[in-house]
Structure 1
Amino acid sequence: MGLFDKIFKRPARPDQRPQGFFQTFTAYTPLFTSWGGCIYESEMVRAAIHARATHISKLAMQVSGAAKPKLQTRLRAGPNEFQTWGQFNYRLSTILDVQNTAFIVPIFDELDQVVGIYPLLPSLCEVLQYGGEPWLRYTFSSGQKAAVELRCCGVLTKFQYQDDFFGSSNRALNPTMDLITLQNQAIGEAVKNSATFRFMAKVNNFAKNEDLAKERRRFNDANLRGEGGLLLFPNTYTDVKQITAQPYTLDAGQMQQIKARVNDYFGVNDDILQNKAYGDAWSAFYEGAIEPYAIQLSDVLTKMLFTQRERAAGAQIMATANRLQYMTNKEKLEVSSQMADRGIFNRDTIREIWNLPPLPDGQGQAYTIRGEYWLLHDDGTATRKGDDLTDGT
């Protein structure tokens, strides 16, 4: 049994003939095809995608609510039996950046109950109508096909404009990718040409083409087939000049512009790529690149796995990150002391900021409030921690 059978192991329906494409507002055929542009093969593009995916893989998945307790227990351990949440988010983010559309399918057990989720990379996906309901039919590069109800699947998109279901391709990046390819070729040619020597000269006293050909062969045999040495030109050669190739390559400023285009397209910068961002710089990257992914993933998974009634009762999945870990040590100390004194953070929360494990036996769940802080109640009374004093003023 392969991975395909592990994920799509629901029994096939007796009549799975679709009733045409699902009707959309835009009149575009609801069809996704894997884009042929190999942007992931570019070192510069892969570095940008990897930087985003690496930080996204650190998101913590929190399941809350009372619905589907068995499923919640499974999801807290991981999305499926093959991946951790870090691996799941890394691959899903990579697929989304490369294809601008990422699919998540549920994994069913023998009783047709959801026991996990898995990110897909199909070569083709169609929205078809069957039994009055839209279905997603996936076709993989191996030729295998599988169909799942659209309401059971999750679809993440970027640059969604023309299609009602899927994002656009990355063809807008084609001019930049062409420049990167040409530049790499030019650098390679420059290295090759730097190891060769070419000369040109006039040959005198030769009137026949046959004589010129014989002289060319003689010169090659005498000078270019040995183990190195000097090139000897007899007096029949005049105006001997070396031919120097000067392949054109982009200067540093132009290369920086190309790099800035790629970084702008994927929402990263040099500090993020080189792991130099912290504090406000990393918070800005989080809000611009990671938080939109976390919000979309949380909404998609919540709607995918829980019914409307269960969501109304508080069932949800949230992707969160502890942004305070990326502050400087001075900022961490200030936040820790101020939030602890006011009873906002407990000890375990502060230890998490400093990348420390929680205290055993729930010791870190207690809150500490400094004695000079007072709690003002709605009725106008005020109490101080540890005292029985009240003040009605």
Structure 2
Amino acid sequence: MGLFDKLFTKQAQEKRLVGEYFETLTAYSPVFTTYEGGLYEMELTRAAIHSFASSCSKLTPEIQGKAYKNLEKTLQFRPNPWMDTSKFIYRLATILSVNTTAFIIPLYGKDYETIVGYYPLLPQRTEMIDVNGEPWLRYSFSNGKRASIELSRVGVLTNYQYKDDFFGDGNSSLMPTLKLLDTQRQGIEEGIKQSAVLRFMAKLGQTLRPEDITKERERFSQDNLSSDNKSGVLMFDQKYSEVKQIDSKPFIIDAEQMKLIHTNVYNYFGVNESILQNSYTEDQWNAWYEGKIEPFALQLSLVMSNMTFTSNELSFGNSIIFTANRLQYASNNTKLQVSTQLFDRGILTTNQVMDIWNMAHVEDGDKRFIRREYTEVNKLDYDKGGENIADSKEQGISESTNPATTDTGEEN
């Protein structure tokens, strides 16, 4: 049994493979086709996508509520038998960036109702069809196989969704920049080749036929420019009126043009050189997280919650969320301040502080501690034993001022 058969049951493979397109609000057909234009084959665009997907792969899934609580460890370690959580999220983020649409299908148990895992799907073509008034997704794969599944069971992530009611609009707006990138690469390659190949220019003193010129060039090169010429001396006869060496200079593309092309890619993917080269500062990371990672985490949380829980379960607070420990990317000074200020106030446990420093948990590390000199404002007049200090002081003063007792101990 192959991967396809494990992802889709026989019923899902065969059911409703023929049907009408689902009617949408727009005039566009609800059909999605995987882009094959080479977006992921460009070095700069792949680097931008990789940075985004790598950052997203560090997200931690958590299940809130009691429904499907047993799925939490599955989500945190191995959402499906073929990939761990990091690869699962990385591939989702990559597919979403390249195709502007990504699909998550649930893996069911033997009853075809109980969810036991999730898989990121990459079909070649996806159509939305009408099955008795309910929208279904019909997938076609490059190996010729097809399968259908209810839209309500599938998680759909989108970018740049405008024209279509269900799918993203693709990356066609980036095509002019991709063409410039390819032209730039070819220009550099050809420029380097030409500057490296032409070393001498020779002017013949007589007219020769084209085929004779070719033979003479080969003879001249063999006699003077090959490794057989161990003397290092260039010799030529009166057939040549002039022979001079060409000063080869490295081909350099216009820096401003290169910067403009790169800036277009950075703006489109929301990255910069610091993010791509992993040299970002704490503030740059926070801006990167707020602008790119958090929106993806929020959409993924909503999509997976809606495909996993019923409306009734959602109303009782059940959800799947993806979070990141942003303090792991803070400076050591910021980590130290947060750790010391929040730990001794009972806000963070020892293990939570260890998480900030990316260290292993310790035994009894879930306890909370607080400094003893802190107390509630309305209890400032009580000592540690709960006795009212103000009353004791007042009683002491009255006893010391009792007229029946003097400092000498004599009675009046």
Structures share fold, TM-score greater than 0.5? yes
Equivalent positions of 1:363-382 (< 5 A) are 363-375=364-376
Shift of 1:277: 2.0
Shift of 1:167: 0.5
TM-score in terms of structure 2 length? 0.85
Shift of 1:75: 3.2
Does 1:253 pair with 2:256?
A: yes
| Corresponding residue for residue 203 of structure 1 | 205
Distance 1:13 1:196 in 2: 59
Q: Contact 1:375–1:383 (CA<8 Å) still a contact in 2?
A: no
Does 1:264 pair with 2:267?
A: yes
> Against the structure 1 CA distance between its residues 25 and 387, is the aligned structure 2 distance closer, same or farther, given a 3 Å change threshold?
farther
Higher Cα Rg: structure 1 or 2? Answer: 2
Shift of 1:340: 1.5
Distance 1:79 1:187 in 2: 44
Distance 2:382 2:147 in 1: 64
Distance 2:308 2:106 in 1: 8
Distance 2:237 2:190 in 1: 32
Give the SS at the match of 1:134: strand
| Corresponding residue for residue 46 of structure 1 | 46
Letter in 1 for 2:6: K
Distance 1:70 1:214 in 2: 81
Give the SS at the match of 2:352: helix
- 283-292 or 246-255, which deviates more: 246-255
Distance 1:326 1:297 in 2: 22
> Against the structure 1 CA distance between its residues 183 and 15, is the aligned structure 2 distance closer, same or farther, given a 3 Å change threshold?
closer
| Corresponding residue for residue 317 of structure 2 | 314
Distance 2:68 2:18 in 1: 31
Q: Residue 209 of structure 2: which of 208, 212, 224 is its match? A: 212
- 133-142 or 237-246, which deviates more: 237-246
Give the SS at the match of 1:25: coil
- 283-292 or 335-344, which deviates more: 335-344
Distance 1:58 1:214 in 2: 65
Shift of 1:217: 5.4
| Corresponding residue for residue 301 of structure 1 | 304
Letter in 2 for 1:264: N
Distance 1:301 1:4 in 2: 21
| Corresponding residue for residue 406 of structure 2 | none
> Against the structure 1 CA distance between its residues 272 and 389, is the aligned structure 2 distance closer, same or farther, given a 3 Å change threshold?
farther
Does 1:75 pair with 2:75?
A: yes
Cα deviation digits, residues 348-389 of structure 1 (max 9, x gap): 1111101112222xx22222222333335xxx6679895636
Distance 1:316 1:214 in 2: 79
Q: Contact 1:48–1:266 (CA<8 Å) still a contact in 2?
A: yes
CA RMSD of aligned residues (A): 2.7
Give the SS at the match of 2:120: strand
> Against the structure 1 CA distance between its residues 278 and 222, is the aligned structure 2 distance closer, same or farther, given a 3 Å change threshold?
closer
Distance 1:238 1:13 in 2: 79
| Corresponding residue for residue 334 of structure 2 | 331
Distance 2:276 2:13 in 1: 48
Q: Contact 1:8–1:108 (CA<8 Å) still a contact in 2?
A: no
> Against the structure 1 CA distance between its residues 194 and 13, is the aligned structure 2 distance closer, same or farther, given a 3 Å change threshold?
closer
Q: Contact 1:40–1:46 (CA<8 Å) still a contact in 2?
A: yes
Shift of 1:255: 1.6
TM-score in terms of structure 1 length? 0.88
| Corresponding residue for residue 353 of structure 1 | 356
Does 1:280 pair with 2:277?
A: no
Give the SS at the match of 1:253: helix
Distance 1:92 1:47 in 2: 16
Distance 2:17 2:193 in 1: 58
- 367-376 or 127-136, which deviates more: 367-376
Letter in 2 for 1:203: G
Give the SS at the match of 1:365: coil
- 154-163 or 246-255, which deviates more: 246-255
Distance 1:45 1:166 in 2: 22
Distance 1:329 1:265 in 2: 32
Letter in 1 for 2:143: S
Give the SS at the match of 2:148: strand
| Corresponding residue for residue 62 of structure 2 | 62
Distance 1:119 1:391 in 2: 66
Does 1:191 pair with 2:192?
A: yes
Gaps of 5+ in 2: 391-412
Q: Contact 2:96–2:102 (CA<8 Å) still a contact in 1?
A: yes
Distance 1:192 1:178 in 2: 21
Q: Contact 1:135–1:150 (CA<8 Å) still a contact in 2?
A: yes
Letter in 1 for 2:124: S
Shift of 1:169: 1.2
Q: Contact 1:101–1:167 (CA<8 Å) still a contact in 2?
A: yes
- 18-27 or 32-41, which deviates more: 18-27
Q: Contact 1:373–1:385 (CA<8 Å) still a contact in 2?
A: no
Q: Contact 2:49–2:269 (CA<8 Å) still a contact in 1?
A: yes
Give the SS at the match of 1:238: strand
Cα deviation digits, residues 60-91 of structure 1 (max 9, x gap): 00012111344445334431121111110000
Distance 2:68 2:45 in 1: 40
Give the SS at the match of 1:219: helix
